[in-house]
Amino acid sequence: MKRTWWKEAVVYQVYWRSFLDTNGDGYGDLEGVRQKLPYIKELGADVVWLNPFYVSPDRDNGYDIADYYQVMDEAGTMKDFERLLDEAHAIGLKVILDLVVNHTSDEHPWFLEAKASKDAPKRDYYIWHDPVDGGVPNNWRSYFAPSCWELDSQSGQYYYHSFAVEQPDLNWENEELRQEIYRMMRFWLDKGIDGFRMDVINLLAKRKDLSDVANPYDLSYLANNPGIHEYLQEMHEEVLQHYDCMTVGEIPFVTPAEGLLYVDESRRELDTLFHFQIADEMPTWDMLRFKAIQRDWYEGLNGRGWNSQFLNNHDHTRQVTRYGNDGEHRVASAKLLATLTHTLPGMPYIYQGEEIGMTGVTFDSIDDYQDIAMRNRYAEEVANGRDPEEVFASLQLLSRDNSRTPMQWTDEPQAGFTTGVPWMRVNPNYYELNVATDLEREDSVFRYYQQLIQLRKSHETLIYGTFEDLLPEDEFLHAYVRELDGTRFTIVLNHSDEPRDLSIDVEGDKIVLQNVKNDEARLLPHEARIYMKKTAI
Ligand code: ISL
Ligand code: CA
């Protein structure tokens, strides 16, 4: 496979509304991101991914867009964005934006026009269906609602929405609509952005067979439908191939074989993908399952498509809480999880705050949660008669708010995130868990991320090397090898709260990075070691 800048890059995801507030309104903003670009650079990241900041009524935190060409007030102005982009480029950081084109907001002018009447010129920008037996056309659910069909009383037709009622899906069968999207993509690429993270991009094509599904809670019927690859190949042909840009598709509901169809270089669709066999399908840590997923994706993509490695983001609970130990072993565990994402095959993504081991949070009441996904599901289940306490407890761990609490910069009030009232409560542990504290300590999580990123940059074996799992059956020890051109790295991780014997031979290998101080052969709890050996002169 050809070598590219993005295959060697580390991406830092900025959820700007929780990153840094510079005007005291309690919301993070683009000016806050600009001010912290040197911080992101110091960490060692190469690319900044900004979650959507376009004009939006904010029903789904910016993923319901009402104007693709303007910056929402809370985020700032287009000038703020342009200044951020210029300064990022000036210090060697690239910037990719979130492309949300499966749906718009129901307040987008296109939808307001389409809704006005059945024969409105833009009616066909969206997906409408007559009632069936006086009700919804079928039993399909959406991510955020019991049905993916919403009645438009004005026309008596239902419109299709894969997410919230306020997020009507665009009709990608409409050529004019597709050209509108390509025009918008060129607008941002011509400003100099370096690519896109593409929101649920494998949902663009819709299932033609509208009959009921056996299990409406298995939402895979929303994705990977016939026509999707033609749309992405047209997008590549019309837009992407004309720019030096990277694209990462958010691609739920795919196996490695299905994922390859989106990122096989020869198919000229996308560059890399986030699959969800871990984040959406592995609720808590399951070592054997994790190992099998990593082997399957390495074998499934190897040599033809590029993977991405992430263990949390703005939709998923913070990794040290969900997949590690956020208690007595929090620091070692945060470093161990980072070692995984930065030494397994694929592009590593750092979600803001994971670089200091920020933890998930559980609030006491549903009123403290803002996530539309959680609030809608809670209301639905309670309306169906389930016990509110039990519903609340069942939704807490996987609520998306867990990873959206403000970035913890200092031990000052509101963790230095804002001088106002934050839009979401700060995690109470900010007093000792914050960037300032980590920057002062040599053995902090932040310093370890720096060393890890530096090691990966200095040895392309960790980027382009082969991958072999040495302990496929071990539930607690993870050991794998990356090899290229006579250099071998052996990564060994004790993903458990107990010390464990090292059960592989690393005779003659040199430890080049270790997350805890330990000279014994026996591994301490959550100890990570990276060994290196020159196998050929
Ligand atoms: O949140 C999830 C499950 O807990 C994810 O499955 C997520 O909803 C799904 O991957 C789609 O996410 C993307 O599109 C949504 C938006 O709410 C998410 O924030 C975005 O990452 C609709 O645009
Ligand atoms: Ca602000």
Judge contact between 436 and 408, C-beta under 8 A. no
Q: What is the pLDDT of residue 363?
A: 87
Residue whose pair of structure tokens reads 């056309």 in the numeric block: 137
Which of 53, 68, 143 for mutating ligand 1's site (highest number of atoms within 8 Å of CB)?
143
Using the atom order of ligand 1, give the atom closest to the CA of residue 63.
23
Q: What is the pLDDT of residue 147?
A: 98
Known catalytic residue: 390?
no
Rounded to whole angstroms, the Cα distance separating 74 from 68 reads 15
Pick the ligand that lies closest to the CA of residue 26. Answer: 2
Ranges of each domain in the chain: 109-160, 463-534
Q: How far is the CA of 280 from the centre of ligand 1 (A)?
A: 10
Using the atom order of ligand 1, give the atom closest to the CA of residue 252.
10
Per-residue pLDDT 10s for the chain (537 aa) are 889 999 999 999 999 999 999 999 999 999 999 999 999 999 999 999 999 999 999 999 999 999 999 999 999 999 999 999 999 999 999 999 999 999 999 999 999 999 999 999 999 999 999 999 999 999 999 999 999 999 999 999 999 999 999 999 999 999 999 999 999 999 999 999 999 999 999 999 999 999 999 999 999 999 999 999 999 999 999 999 999 999 999 999 999 999 999 999 999 999 999 999 999 999 999 999 999 999 999 999 988 999 999 999 999 999 999 999 999 999 999 999 999 999 999 999 999 999 999 999 888 889 889 999 999 999 999 999 999 999 999 998 778 999 999 999 999 999 999 999 999 999 999 999 999 999 999 999 999 999 999 999 999 999 999 999 999 999 999 999 999 999 999 999 999 999 999 989 998 999 999 999 999 999 999 999 999 999 876
Q: How far is the CA of 33 from the centre of ligand 1 (A)?
A: 23
- Please list, in sequence order, all residues whose beta carbon lies within 8 angstroms of the beta carbon of residue 184, skipping any fewer than 6 positions away: 68, 69
Report which DSSP code applies to 499. Answer: -
Backbone region of residue 353 per phi and psi (left: phi > 0; alpha: psi in -120 to 50; beta: other values): left
One CATH from 2.60.40.1180, 3.30.420.40, 3.10.20.740, 2.60.40.10 for 463-534: 2.60.40.1180
* CATH number, domain 109-160: 3.90.400.10
Q: What is the pLDDT of residue 537?
A: 63
Using the atom order of ligand 1, give the atom closest to the CA of residue 64.
23
Q: What is the pLDDT of residue 18?
A: 98
pTM assigned to the model: 0.98
Closest C-alpha residue for ligand 1 atom 16: 63
Rounded to whole angstroms, the Cα distance separating 12 from 310 reads 11
Quick one: three-class SS letters along 53-103?
CEECCCCCCCCCCCEEEEECCCCCCHHHHHHHHHHHHHCCCEEEEEECCCE
Rounded to whole angstroms, the Cα distance separating 47 from 474 reads 35
Q: What is the pLDDT of residue 318?
A: 97
Using the atom order of ligand 1, give the atom closest to the CA of residue 316.
4
Using the atom order of ligand 1, give the atom closest to the CA of residue 398.
4
Q: How far is the CA of 55 from the centre of ligand 2 (A)?
A: 15
Catalytic annotation, pick one of 29, 250, 269, 509:
250
Pick the ligand that lies closest to the CA of residue 72. Answer: 2
Ligand 1 contacts (CB < 6 A) are: 60, 63, 100, 143, 163, 199-200, 250, 252, 280, 314-315, 373, 398, 400
Q: What is the pLDDT of residue 437?
A: 98
Closest by CA position to 26, among listed 429, 425, 365, 354: 425
Q: How far is the CA of 29 from the centre of ligand 2 (A)?
A: 5
Judge contact between 253 and 202, C-beta under 8 A. yes
Closest C-alpha residue for ligand 1 atom 5: 315
Q: How far is the CA of 22 from the centre of ligand 2 (A)?
A: 5
Q: What is the pLDDT of residue 397?
A: 78
Closest C-alpha residue for ligand 1 atom 7: 315
Known catalytic residue: 389?
no
Catalytic annotation, pick one of 80, 169, 199, 401:
199
**H helix or E strand, kind and range, residue 320:** helix 319-322
Rounded to whole angstroms, the Cα distance separating 164 from 83 reads 33
Closest by CA position to 5, among listed 245, 299, 301, 256: 245
Closest C-alpha residue for ligand 1 atom 15: 63
Q: How far is the CA of 484 from the centre of ligand 2 (A)?
A: 47
Rounded to whole angstroms, the Cα distance separating 318 from 15 reads 13
Judge contact between 98 and 106, C-beta under 8 A. no
